[in-house]
A and B are shown apart, each in its own frame.
Chain A
Amino acid sequence: MATTIEKLPDHLLSNILIRVPARTLAQMRSISKPLNALLSQPSFIKSHLHRSIKTNDEILLVFKHLYSSEVTAHPSTSPHLELPNFIQLPVGDDPSDKYLGHAVIGAVIGAVIGAVIGAVNGLICFSYARTYAYFFQIWNTSISALLELPQLTILGEFKSNYRFGFDPYNDDYKIVYISKLSKDVMLVHIYSMRKCCWKSVTERFPPHLEILGEDNVWGDGHDGRLYWLCCNEYDIYSKTIVAFDLGAETFSLIGLPVDNWGFRNRLGVLGGKLCLMSRFEDHGWEVWLMNEYGIAKSWEKHHVADADNISAFGFTLGNELLFTNSDVLSMYDPIAAKVKSFMFEVEPHGTRIVPYVDSLIIFFKFNIIN
């Protein structure tokens, strides 16, 4: 039909290319300058990402131990299947320093321990500690690109918490690093992937609150906010939620359904809304959903289960519930009303499950190459 070699219109070309996997597109950049320019356009990268989130069957990456690089990939339609050689963890240049390429369990002094601190839009953020210093890496799983962040050293901290999320207002990815120096002094540092640097911010973490364990929050950071579940000092009952707006870089407090809300809770995100998954001694567990963001009165009981051997992780991007049932990792599809088992056991605290998202998002300095 096409007899002459006529250039394809950009509109047609981009409609085809948003359907091509990110890894293949990364290779295609070398084909020609105009093609590289098209593939580097922020609008193209965004359309490609939105389409892959909306259309691709969800694949879940399971990091089985907090400080280990053992990771397996499972399709959410049949999670008992393991996709062989699906991803390869990045390995450092120095062969003695294969912090993420090796299983690095245990906190031997001088050894390296790494953990997933967040995942959004196909980027997974790792932190690792080595001889009293913290390092961070951002990894694009689809195109195996790895960004090593400049080291941040904070003297005199005795407790720290760090999280990763997407700032849609500035189209940026950020790490928020909270370090506690003393009872009343908490410092906040932010790394911006767009600006490629750390900065300290004057905004204070609300005082007199203790951050509950880092695996008490699951799957945030997609909508421009990070959350922490907090209690009063010397207390174990969840008291309030601290939210951080990644665009405005401000903290705010969000109330729980009632004060002193039990002590076995996890925060998560379900269909874009904040949700709270809570275990109770006397009546199983419940899922609560915050219908209007920031309005404590809008908490609504969404789901109840009276099984006492269940522990909820959170919800997948496809709104399926991930949980352990007597330590066996499982997921529940509310539309088909069907439970699917991964057929293996995990440690409920210490396992990270993140979605694999096919994504071209790379570190901004690459985007200007033409």
Chain B
Amino acid sequence: MSKKTLTLMSKDKQLFNIEEHLAVQSVTIRNMVKEDGASSVIPLPRVDSETLALVIEYLNRQQAPEEDEDYVKKFVDERGEIPTLLELAQAALDLDIKKLMDAACMKVADLIKDFTLEEVREALRIENDRTPEEEKAIRDEFQWAF
């Protein structure tokens, strides 16, 4: 019996094939398959092709369950750039792939915890909406935390 294959389409319209039994590690894809049999192409309009390639690489891993935790940790460690990790975490959230989401978010959290506030602002793309006076007031208010 040949294994059933699904086709996923990224935001930039690239197509990726993956065996169905591997793709359904994503709860979102599993639900789509259940609903309409998913014979056609599954569009993933929020995931770009580079990220989808990573997700597919992760879904295709051939790991024994007991090594899985280490594998996913290593997998995200090797993609240590914050923008990549954020894309990966967002894709894992959208596709509901829990272990990948956990590991990617954990990696970002580990990286930013030693950053300066300015570096955190940049990494998490947060706009500075405070005047210097306001910033000082907050610092004074939360003095115990600094």
Contact = CB atoms under 8 A, between A and B. Distances in A.
A145 B142 CA distance: 9
Contact of A146 (B87, B93, B144): B144
A19 interface: yes
Given A8-B125, A29-B138, A23 B50 contact: no
Q: Interface size class for chain B?
A: 35 or more
Contact of B87 (A1, A16, A32): A1
For the residues of B in contact with A, the DSSP-based class is helix
Interface residues of A, number: 35
B90 interface: yes
A312 to B, nearest CB: 34
Contact of B138 (A2, A12, A23, A30): A30
B141 A12 contact: no
Given A17-B109, A19-B105, A26-B142, A1 B130 contact: no
B57 to A, nearest CB: 15
A36 B128 CA distance: 12
Contact of B129 (A8, A24, A32): A32
B106 A33 contact: no
B89 interface: yes
Interface in A1-38: 1-2, 5-9, 11-13, 15-17, 19-21, 23-24, 26-36
A12 B112 CA distance: 14
B109 A16 contact: yes
Interface in A285-311: none
A78 to B, nearest CB: 21
B83 interface: yes
B82 to A, nearest CB: 9
Interface in B114-146: 117, 120-121, 124-130, 135, 138-139, 141-142, 144-146
A16 B144 contact: no
Contact of B105 (A16, A28, A32): A16
A200 interface: no
Most chain-A CB neighbours within 10 Å: which of B125, B135, B141?
B125
Interface string B65-93: 00000000000000000011011011001
B4 interface: no
Nearest to A27: B145
Contacts of B145: 23, 26-27, 29, 143-145
Contacts of B86: 2, 8, 12
Given A1-B50, A8-B86, A30 B142 contact: yes
B146 A27 contact: yes
Contact of B126 (A24, A31, A369): A31
A250 B141 CA distance: 37
Contacts of B126: 7, 31-32, 34-35
A5 B110 CA distance: 22
10 contacts: A1-B48, A2-B87, A6-B125, A12-B86, A17-B109, A19-B110, A30-B135, A34-B129, A144-B145, A146-B144
Interface of B: 48, 50-51, 83-84, 86-87, 89-90, 93, 101, 105-106, 108-110, 112-113, 117, 120-121, 124-130, 135, 138-139, 141-142, 144-146
